[in-house]
Amino acid sequence: MQKVKGTYDVLPQDSSQWLFLEHHIHNVMKKHHISYVRTPVFEYYDVFHRQTEASDMVTKETYDFEDRSGRKITLRPEGTAGVIRSIVENKLIAPNHVLKTYYLGANYRYERPQKGRYREFYQTGIEMIGDKDAILDAELIQIAYELISKLGIKQVVVKLNHLGDHESRLAYKEALKNYLEPFKDQLSEDSQNRLSSNPLRILDSKIPSDQALLKDAPRLDQFISDEDQKYFQDIIKILNTHNIPYEIDTKLVRGLDYYAHVVFEIQTLIEGFGSQNALGGGGRYDNLVSELGGPDVSGIGFALGLERLLLACELQGISFEDSNHIDVAVLHLDKHLKKEAYEIYKFLQKNNINVDFDFSNKTFKTQLKNAIQSNLNYVIILGEEEVANNTVQIKNLKAETQETVKKEDILNYLNKQLG
């Protein structure tokens, strides 16, 4: 039996990296007073398959099935729609209030697995619902940047674009479609399909021949209103004030059709990271809340891929503190002393010492060998003589020294040594 293609196991030697990253995410969100929300990993089909959403993610990549009652179900391919559904269903939106939530969990897309990209993958993201304000947009971008930069990842840049309001995008879509129509036969198959459904997505094509045809195409910024241009400049001014590195990318549209106004993508230029160098991204949406049955309010959000973050850290030689680090192990010279050794282990554990205990019946020699290989600092050794004298031997494996310590003094001794 093997794992399903596009999935992976988090093994014990890698789990500390995941735990550290998840802890880091929760800490940053807590700092910014953003509330955690967790939604089901599957939703009704219509939550994702909306008439206004024609992205590849929805049309080609979702895992769809009927349950035993014939209901159409979809494994979530992204976090936003399910979070908005939950917010609307539970009536969490209040007038003159910005609701700030974040999520962390698995998503599923049937796409070609590649380095750092899987069919089951984990994302964290934020959704801020209830107001449209350049300060809020800039704040969200800064939090996304902080989540990445505080991990120590270098060569990070925020790519920015403005898609305009509904009317601006309609006008631009028509202009772009009219421009590309004479070149339709020269476009890639995907771009030909997008020409009628959503020509904006052609801007994001990675096919060189498509990009060559777009060289003289109309630009989106030519269709954006003065009001929206000012809104975008207000965001940029705030990012400048807070030294967030960014670049304007007029071809950035992101992969989901619900985005409007500002969109952004956070990228890193790391050798070996692959052609898809995005760590995550997001943008503002005007109609998503109302499409899912809520009031006519705006929102903004982003998502970051955890696998991508860990891959970026690995390629840049960034290692996290091992949350499973052990300072001391309790060893016994004979298996009939195992119970007494176990009681010392439980005592130290209850007093917040990072302690380990070998639950097998290995010989003392094997126990000590394993402790040395685990790079422990100290071992506590219990033998017949120690039990009789109510003492233990504490061996410093680094300094290769050993001391006799009374049982009642073990905790004080270790606290002093471990600092």
Q: What is the pLDDT of residues 165-181, one digit of tens each?
A: 878 878 888 888 898 99
The reply to whether 362 and 282 lie within a common domain is no
220 part of a folded domain:
no
DSSP-derived 3-state class of residue 61 = coil
The reply to whether 64 and 153 lie within a common domain is yes
Domain boundary among 254, 287, 315: 315
HSE (CB half, 13 Å, CA atoms) of 359?
2
Q: What is the DSSP string of 218-241?
A: PPGGGSS-HHHHHHHHHHHHHHHH
Tokens of 114: 């590649």
154 part of a folded domain:
yes
Rounded distance between C-alpha atoms, residue 143 and residue 160, angstroms: 15
pLDDT > 90 fraction of the chain, expressed in percent and rounded: 64
Reported as type and span, the H/E element at residue 244 is: none
Q: What is the pLDDT of residues 32-53, one digit of tens each?
A: 999 999 999 999 999 999 877 7
187 part of a folded domain:
no
Rounded distance between C-alpha atoms, residue 368 and residue 379, angstroms: 8
1 part of a folded domain:
no
The reply to whether 263 and 345 lie within a common domain is no
- Whose CA is closest to 95, among 288, 295, 292, 283? 295
Q: Which structural domain, as residue segments, surrounds residue 372?
A: 328-418
Domain boundary among 258, 286, 315: 315
Q: Which residues of 94-106 are buried (b: 16+ CB within 10 A; e: fewer)?
A: eeeebbbbbbbbe
| CATH classification of the domain holding 370 | 3.40.50.800
pLDDT > 70 fraction of the chain, expressed in percent and rounded: 97
343 part of a folded domain:
yes
Residue 13's pLDDT band (boundaries 50, 70, 90)? confident
Rounded distance between C-alpha atoms, residue 218 and residue 261, angstroms: 18
What's the chain's average pLDDT?
Answer: 90
193 part of a folded domain:
no
Q: How do 355-357 and 378-382 pair as beta strands?
A: unpaired
Q: What is the pLDDT of residues 352-400, one digit of tens each?
A: 999 999 888 899 999 999 999 888 999 999 999 999 999 999 999 999 9
Evaluate if residue 156 carries a pLDDT over 90.
yes
Q: What is the pLDDT of residues 305-352, one digit of tens each?
A: 999 999 999 989 898 866 567 899 999 999 899 999 999 999 999 999
Give the pLDDT confidence score for residue 276 in this predicted structure. 63
Evaluate if residue 146 carries a pLDDT over 70.
yes
The reply to whether 355 and 307 lie within a common domain is no
The reply to whether 249 and 334 lie within a common domain is no
Helices 410-418 and 338-350: angle between axes, nearest 10 degrees = 60
Give the pLDDT confidence score for residue 190 in this predicted structure. 82
**Bridge partners for 401 per DSSP:** 396
From the number of C-beta atoms within 10 Å of its C-beta (0-12, 13-18, 19+), residue 212 rates as: exposed
Domain boundary among 263, 285, 315: 315
Q: Are 218 and 176 in contact (CB under 8 A)?
A: yes
Give the pLDDT confidence score for residue 324 in this predicted structure. 64
The reply to whether 244 and 355 lie within a common domain is no
The reply to whether 304 and 332 lie within a common domain is no
The reply to whether 31 and 99 lie within a common domain is yes
Give the pLDDT confidence score for residue 255 in this predicted structure. 62
Q: How do 72-75 and 64-66 pair as beta strands?
A: antiparallel
119 part of a folded domain:
yes
The reply to whether 351 and 292 lie within a common domain is no
- Distance, C-alpha 186 to centroid of its chain: 37
Mean per-residue pLDDT for 177-192?
88
Q: What is the pLDDT of residues 104-139, one digit of tens each?
A: 999 999 988 887 789 999 999 999 999 889 999 999
Rounded distance between C-alpha atoms, residue 9 and residue 31, angstroms: 31
86 part of a folded domain:
yes
- Whose CA is closest to 161, among 38, 284, 59, 330? 284
| Total tally of structural domains belonging to the chain | 2
The residues, any chain, with a CB within 8 Å of residue 263's CB and separated by 6 or more, are 160, 161, 162, 163, 252, 253, 254, 281, 282, 283, 284
Helix, strand, coil proportions of the chain in percent (round to 5)? 40, 20, 35
- Alpha-carbon torsion 380, 385, 391, 394, what sign? negative
The reply to whether 383 and 308 lie within a common domain is no
The reply to whether 354 and 296 lie within a common domain is no
| CATH classification of the domain holding 274 | 3.30.930.10
Helices 134-149 and 12-31: angle between axes, nearest 10 degrees = 150
Evaluate if residue 223 carries a pLDDT over 90.
no
Angle at 24 between CA 22 and CA 25, to 5 degrees: 65
The reply to whether 388 and 288 lie within a common domain is no
